[in-house]
Structure 1
């Protein structure tokens, strides 16, 4: 049975594949769509069978469906998504040079032709639909994965919120509390049923203005220390972090409150301890200063600040260089402190030294101690500086030293210092091979002055004699009081005996001049004994004996 040309033309214009099989399975109709999709020409297909054209079809669901349609009059609908292999057709809708396998729906149904049962096969190209289906399936899997991730994220965030130690509270623009985590319940003492829906100002009063409106702007996006109010009315310190987000077109605020009550108590205790420390070190007579590991000043007591001219200045956290610019009088001194600081840190041990510092009352001497401090890792941690004013002790020691070697009445060297000076002068004379003269002298009739005018006049006479003797000598010479009215003179670097005689004559002439003592004019004279080194003797003892004998000889002659 041949298909009429009109039917062939009509089927060729269709958008689906059409195949008509005779009862003997021979192909009666093979439209243009099938030609294009299969690549089999109509003249090759007509009269042939599907098994001949597509041998693999026999093993697919298409063969049994055709048999059921022709033999039993049953229809079938086959899809390539369920039946992996149908017709081996190709789709060329995209790049003609790169065809792709076609996804199909195949409808097989019996048709009657003058009492004969034929089989009509309709092939629908569902490749675009399959592609969209694949995309939808991928999107569905993606959405499912996102939903799973969202659920996991929500569980994770809820676990964080529920297990954090900080209070987390959300509230709206009107301040009404929306959520309230377990930490907030623990900190403030309210259960969620007691506080949710109430104003956040119940917990943090500073968030509400005078008229009760919520003041969020001053606290957004930074940390602020605020006061929280507990259920019982007690107060605590909070570090508040406030942020906002848009939810449903309205502002939602998230408040995170960290309880810093313990920290504030520690800071207060530290502040008090610092005050006690400052009070303590200000009560000390010593100079005290604490520095950090970079040499910046942390604490200095009143003595220290007064000594360096920084009393009333803001010195905390400043280096020696910065402080030096704040005081001209102590500029160089402050800069110099850096050197001893570095020595203490570099040596890693306590450094002690004496330091003279200027002050309005004159130079002061300090016994300085610098103690370097280090961390467990060996890094510089700080420096403790303590200075004890030893000026008076030094002056006392100098006075004691002076008294031990000088006559208390005349301030002239005493016998001990005189003997030391004589040993030094002899050693120098030996080294330079020069002469040295030793003069012993005492005042004539000094006892009469004491007896007639009194001892206080006698003391004044001895002091005046000492001054005149000093004027008669060079700075390199020595005059000493040996006791009573006895004096001794050491003349160094003499070229001959004449020099000693000239000095002796000068002394005699000077002491013969009257002394005006109070209302008295006192006349006196002196007897002098002279001995020379090395002419008369070379040892100190022998020179002393010679001078003593020469003085008595002079006194005996009335000199």
Structure 2
């Protein structure tokens, strides 16, 4: 599969320098670049207003913008793009200032050639990608560790604390701020400290995992029994820090001696890891190097419909069947992708999991390689969760944002959107659009005399009758209170609007049975027509509103067009 070229925006007013850079990037073999060249800052800002630019090569001596002010404008327009400043041999201060304000690097024009420039760009692109992956990895680590029931304490090579998770803070009674920079041993009960430190030194000398039990002495004087496992974080033979897992075993310490051995056996390394996996809310599935299933936690069993026993040894696509939710196409095995790339990969957007019984559910998350002690990939782990509720909530919130809560009709926001679309379609097809403002006559009297509950039911009944008076392609909207708006898209003439208005008057003239009351309600209607009364949404709304007040003034229970002469023509047609 060919990697798409990286789109580079070259902002340089010197044709010679621009030509040299374009030639250098055009000769790149391993990583292709597509260069767009502009000579002015204003053109650059206009182009950055559209998507697609990944890298910006910016000269800070442009005809319409110079220095750090020009950089700031570009950085504001493209905060996620890689910005590299092009500097002259005599100017070093401005590029350094740009680096402090968000530039990723700067290039000296005098050193640009076809060999060096593509490699420099590839290096900066890869450095940014690595940084983003590192931030993602750190965020996942913190989220997973805070979800763990085990406390986690991480220290640097000198023993100073660099991180604790929520469980550790709960066990120790210390906040992260209180523990940062301190040694883990300060929390050990004085009666246990000498023994524990001796065990720690013995483990360190033998480069063995550290495992012990001791009492935490908290600031309030309370004591918590803990089980601690520690190991060095190594880069080859060099230890650059330590990590400890801390478990609150106070209750277990109060049980009988015979139960203690069984409790300790549970927390052997493999079992402890499995207990942790079984307690999290995400599905976890692991494979070997060939992509065959080696483990599933209970959540994964529930989501896939496969028991761990049935799934063991089977090819991943047979157990973890995923497809594109939009196109319905099978998706590539994420475990094999993670192993092949030796990196964490996200599952595709709109990913659907097909259960063993054929049912489907949308999922999100990622796959990552599993490494041996030597650093070689020996399999992969997939962490996933069901997002059905999140999708349903998003759809519900989207509907609520665009519809009236009482009648279920579109609200003003959705009407404005549809009106703009209708105007555009009418313009293209040579049609007209009508906008009708409706206000119930004397509704306040009904609301005040019979109560808001009856008033609300009446509004719902009116909404239903209005919906029956229009086509499915039209829109009935509740503007607010007792005001409604009808959008008639692509009509042939104002006479069509007059016909609908007469139908509305007739529909509402019939008595309505509401809460044991026979209610009679009429409506005043104002109509504006595109393009006769306006060519944009605002003009049409204002015209229809004005016409509605004219209908009120002329006796209610009638309709009026925006212009009197058009009203006369339409009614007599």
TM-score by structure 2 length? 0.46
TM-score by structure 1 length? 0.47
